[in-house]
Amino acid sequence: MNGRYARNVALAEIGEAGQHRINAGRVLIVGAGALGSVTGLYLAGAGVGHIGVADFDTVDVSNLQRQIAYTEADAGCRKAEVLCARMRALNSDVDVRPICKMVTRHNLNEIVSGYDVVADCSDNAATKHFLAGAVTALGKVCVTAGVSRFTAQVTTSVPGGASFGDIFGDASPAADGCGGILPCQSEGVLGPAAGVAAACQGAEVLKVLAGAGKTLAGRLLLIDTLDFSTVTLSMS
């Protein structure tokens, strides 16, 4: 086993068998913004073997407050391509693929077909509603993260189980926001709160791949960084 992953292997819940599963894992990251740019680095660092990054947007200086994989020099560049370059620089063993397009109902099957797990790092509620249900309908796991102002949100949808839509109800344009509930352009978002959500999402994806611990399937984790209160809601 590659010494690079020794700290993962040392975890009894992962071990060599779990690390092999991580190395063989295929994860699609949807959205390379505040959530995806951090989640992607953690997954690459952990040795997830094949990672796709789907995002149609370019880097803007207003992103840099929270999208810390990017620099001022990246302004105007495609996020998916820049993030994949950062991931390759972190771990050359990982196969990464930029997908510079929006994931929609029309191309979802084509894009998702080659992956086992989807990390939903999208920045609006409408996408999250359709993505979780559509991904699980294809027999795959969807780990959804979001951030609203100071609050990180993470949940996992599995085939046959509850999904994002079961928590928040029908999608509404008024609910579209920076990864969750409120629009970050007007309401704001704390950069490290996005980092908390992304770190939890990365941990959840690795647990799913390795078969370690208890996932957030059927549960919603809320972490309020303003007072560091934590709530886990059951969807059952």
Cα angle, residue 18 at apex, residues 14 and 23 outer, rounded to 5°: 130
Query: Catalytic: 121?
Result: no
Provide the 3-class DSSP secondary structure of residue 54.
Answer: strand
Alpha carbon distance 13, 136 (integer Å): 25
- Choose, from 84, 121, 178, 184, the residue flagged as catalytic: 184
User: What are the C-alpha distances in Å from 140 to residues 82, 164, 185, 229?
Assistant: 27, 14, 32, 31
Cα angle, residue 175 at apex, residues 42 and 193 outer, rounded to 5°: 30
Alpha carbon distance 38, 3 (integer Å): 23
User: Quick one: tokens of 199?
Assistant: 């770190």
CA atoms within 13 A on the CB side of 5: 26
b/e code 161-173 from CB counts within 10 Å (16+ = b): ebbbbbbbeebee
- Sign of torsion over alpha carbons 11, 6, 202, 66: positive
Torsion of CA 159, 162, 164, 166, to 10 degrees: 140
Active site residues: 184
